[in-house]
Structure 1
């Protein structure tokens, strides 16, 4: 439960005030105000000598920017990470689920976070849609992390520096310009040049806001954020857990940011939530927590530290997440609300892939276009998958509360995630399930395994004394970009009339290799042994599933069917 309660990104003091002013406009009028944008300089306008030349410029020093910078620096590229001169506010909360540990290790940040003394993320306690309390607890050593934004960024800055990236703290960015040989980015103190630029500035969207951002119309969300500490002599409740509760016209969540402090946030819609506006932000925050009765009761023996803040927290996506030379990374490209507990993990996954795409483009100009096409597809898919996965939870809340707050969010989520297959949450999980790292085509291929055609193919194969297989007449192959080791490469994918999206692997079985050797054996055991001799061995159950899939999908044809 992390990123909805802040305005993330690279901002000056003035633009931070603009964000708060925009939040107050939403509270007063239910509509957004205009926001100051970074000016794009015409080509050639940045005329001062370029003393700072890099392979990659990364704007924004949060988890996404640092992870991308570290990954690219380790691959031997010169990277400048341009971030704000002052640390972010400590009242902003971040939460990383235990499922992100593998990804943290992949970007080289796990050891640093383990050593940073952050609050362990021990699990979730949830009261949702009037259902009984649900608990999910993570066991040692698979815990995640809770932290205030400043502590988390400090740890990630260390990761980027250690990897060899240059940390530039003379922001904010005041101008950007694109020229034939790359990008120029100017701060108030210096000007920088790079072949690629990555916008990792979060909601601020230094480059993303120039016509690249899309919003779901008719829905606005504000986060009312307070910093809570227990009274003397009282222990904080659920010291390592995220607390979540829905109510009639909003929902609330809380995460620990230190052993004795919590970030407590109410998520409201200024057009639809009944807000106690006459009581000011502190009064509105308290009134919303009173609606979240069970979470509110757990915080009765405590007090606010400092004022309540109102921050924009509406969802958004992008018309395009990248082209050769420019990528939108993490929250700069899209924002998902904190219901998923997936915000930081989503940002890290985006940064990991952005680093591979950028590395590919720097090393091979011809692959820059296909690599950016893959990146754009994946980023769009992650956003749509999250929206599809949120539908069951919104359905529960809408059915119980019968309120426009939930009705409009449910309708929007259904529309946004309509083309995502198999988007059902795992039974018993109290938070939204995670999209994972597989592509949409791979998940559609997995979903095809449950189709009647595959079951029929298996029953037929089992019944025959011998199988004579050959490539089906309608089988064809297309080369599409895919992640191969540390770069993007064009990979052959089989397609047919039954599976136009195509597939290359099912249960880690290479379908192309399978279709090539299938005509050489008329016994399944012989075919299984031949497949494993040609490459990485797979278990028999996975091989049989893939063989049935190949026949059911129209890649292979049985002569004796």
Structure 2
């Protein structure tokens, strides 16, 4: 059997894998991507957060993405919980003016090609069959090249598993992936032509989110006047409708027909084939260990509501690349780097868990699958100590999977809902807010949605990610 060697093996060439590989290759580290598919290939997850802009800049892909002609996304609109409200990214001081609505086949292909141009070795149509460990450390991968009809092994110093839902490590080796019962949903979607997006005064390119009974609808405008229209519905609700002899397509069509705004937008539209994906919300018990990091959907995926998928994928990939670079140069101890990665990644994941939980609580109250309180932490705090509880959650020390106190979860959701409503009031200017409260609120929200791993003042264990002159971990005290 042929055995090759590399410094870093990246499994998967999606946004996580390509971002990590590009960052590492730009730092002069020998990096190899083994990608199971042949790009371009279809993928869902088209609406990207504003955090994309600084992250593609870090890996030097800004001009390439801008040249693709993707629809610019200035913000979004929610018809949710009995309220209608819109937001723009540029309402937040220092935030990018827009992100992008992308066709993932084109976007992902751009990123994997960019990784190759940065110096990474890219192999497509190659499956990783098994990761071999020695003394508890990941050291080798067995692979099959389906184009060349050959197999072999690849030795590495570090591994970044970006294999997506396939989960080479989480599913194939550790078997430690756990699905969230609270977010046990099904997504049904299709692509439409001739959708009427002119009925409101939203800026062109805005995402539209419409709450429905036991779920919600997305409208994402793409290039060439195509619009992605999806329905996310509770698994139990869908199963109940199926028992009434309704097909998935009939259920999808009926929900869109019954919502006034959706019906208005689609009255003259035509669509293509409907697609379905289910049980996509999960996490792994750990995101890293001796010799390996897990990034993007290989580690966790929450819910499409706030478009966190690509954000968490690229975010974790940059952190993994920074950690490996610093280990490679001997600047940071490996155990310390893994602690930084595990803590900061889980912190980012739990931020979105809290936000999605809050939105669902606002939207449906005690109906259907939203009736379960979100289980966020096992520690007990008074209502007034909500911020302390939040810090406990986002620090990564709280284990939200082993909670028995449902009442406490509801308290946290209610208080964070209050924080979000304060933010809406601030933007609208509907009530007077003092400077001290305003500053406190902005700090709180920055802690939830910001790229805090790039902030020296928000270091974890004394470390943060430095961008210049090299993407790496740095001491906050330096």
- Indicate if the aligned counterparts of 2:323 and 2:472 stay in contact, CA closer than 8 A: yes
Taking a change above 3 Å as real, the CA distance of residues 296 and 443 of structure 1, as seen in their structure-2 partners, is farther
- The answer to whether residue 65 in structure 2 is matched with residue 110 in structure 1 is no
What is the 5 A alignment of 1:500-511? none
Could you tell me which residue of structure 1 aligns to residue 262 of structure 2?
A: 295
CA distance in 1, matches of 2:219, 2:104: 14
Could you tell me which residue of structure 2 aligns to residue 266 of structure 1?
A: 231
CA distance in 2, matches of 1:88, 1:285: 28
CA distance in 1, matches of 2:198, 2:279: 27
Shift of 1:392: 3.3
Q: 2:85 aligns with which of 102, 113, 134?
A: 134
Give the RMSD, CA atoms, in angstroms. Answer: 3.4
- The answer to whether residue 119 in structure 2 is matched with residue 156 in structure 1 is no
TM-score, normalising length: structure 1: 0.65
Shift of 1:271: 1.4
- The answer to whether residue 122 in structure 2 is matched with residue 167 in structure 1 is yes
- Indicate if the aligned counterparts of 1:119 and 1:259 stay in contact, CA closer than 8 A: no
Q: 1:349 aligns with which of 315, 337, 357?
A: 315
Deviates more, 1:58-67 or 1:166-175: 166-175
Taking a change above 3 Å as real, the CA distance of residues 297 and 276 of structure 1, as seen in their structure-2 partners, is farther
Task: Give deviations 1:411-431, integer Å, cap 9, x for gaps.
Answer: 34687999324953362289x
Q: 1:145 aligns with which of 100, 125, 144?
A: 100
Task: Give deviations 1:20-48, integer Å, cap 9, x for gaps.
Answer: xxxxxxxxxxxxxxxxxxxxxxxxxxxx1
Gaps of 5+ in 1: 1-47, 446-477, 493-509, 511-561
SS in 2 for 1:94: coil
Taking a change above 3 Å as real, the CA distance of residues 382 and 324 of structure 1, as seen in their structure-2 partners, is same
CA distance in 1, matches of 2:253, 2:313: 31
SS in 2 for 1:405: helix
- Indicate if the aligned counterparts of 2:453 and 2:465 stay in contact, CA closer than 8 A: no
Could you tell me which residue of structure 2 aligns to residue 199 of structure 1?
A: 161
What is the 5 A alignment of 1:273-292? 273=238, 274-276=240-242, 278-292=245-259
Gaps of 5+ in 2: 380-385, 392-414, 429-444
CA distance in 1, matches of 2:458, 2:58: 26
TM-score, normalising length: structure 2: 0.75
- Indicate if the aligned counterparts of 1:205 and 1:332 stay in contact, CA closer than 8 A: yes
Shift of 1:365: 9.0
Could you tell me which residue of structure 2 aligns to residue 419 of structure 1?
A: 389
SS in 2 for 1:227: strand
Task: Give deviations 1:328-385, integer Å, cap 9, x for gaps.
Answer: 0112111121221332122211111110111122233971111011100111111211
Shift of 1:440: 13
CA distance in 1, matches of 2:198, 2:33: 37
CA distance in 1, matches of 2:457, 2:353: 16
- Indicate if the aligned counterparts of 1:226 and 1:265 stay in contact, CA closer than 8 A: yes
Q: 1:337 aligns with which of 291, 294, 303?
A: 303
Taking a change above 3 Å as real, the CA distance of residues 166 and 316 of structure 1, as seen in their structure-2 partners, is same
SS in 2 for 1:411: coil
Taking a change above 3 Å as real, the CA distance of residues 340 and 223 of structure 1, as seen in their structure-2 partners, is same
Larger radius of gyration: 1
- Indicate if the aligned counterparts of 1:276 and 1:283 stay in contact, CA closer than 8 A: no
Deviates more, 1:165-174 or 1:61-70: 165-174
- Indicate if the aligned counterparts of 2:455 and 2:464 stay in contact, CA closer than 8 A: no
| Count of aligned pairs | 405
Task: Give deviations 1:451-508, integer Å, cap 9, x for gaps.
Answer: xxxxxxxxxxxxxxxxxxxxxxxxxxx975444564335666xxxxxxxxxxxxxxxx
Q: 2:2 aligns with which of 44, 49, 56?
A: 49
- Indicate if the aligned counterparts of 1:118 and 1:147 stay in contact, CA closer than 8 A: yes
- The answer to whether residue 314 in structure 2 is matched with residue 361 in structure 1 is no
- Indicate if the aligned counterparts of 1:481 and 1:491 stay in contact, CA closer than 8 A: yes
SS in 2 for 1:349: helix
- The answer to whether residue 450 in structure 2 is matched with residue 436 in structure 1 is yes
SS in 2 for 1:95: coil
CA distance in 2, matches of 1:380, 1:159: 28
Shift of 1:443: 9.1
- Indicate if the aligned counterparts of 2:25 and 2:119 stay in contact, CA closer than 8 A: yes
CA distance in 2, matches of 1:225, 1:294: 17
Shift of 1:259: 2.5
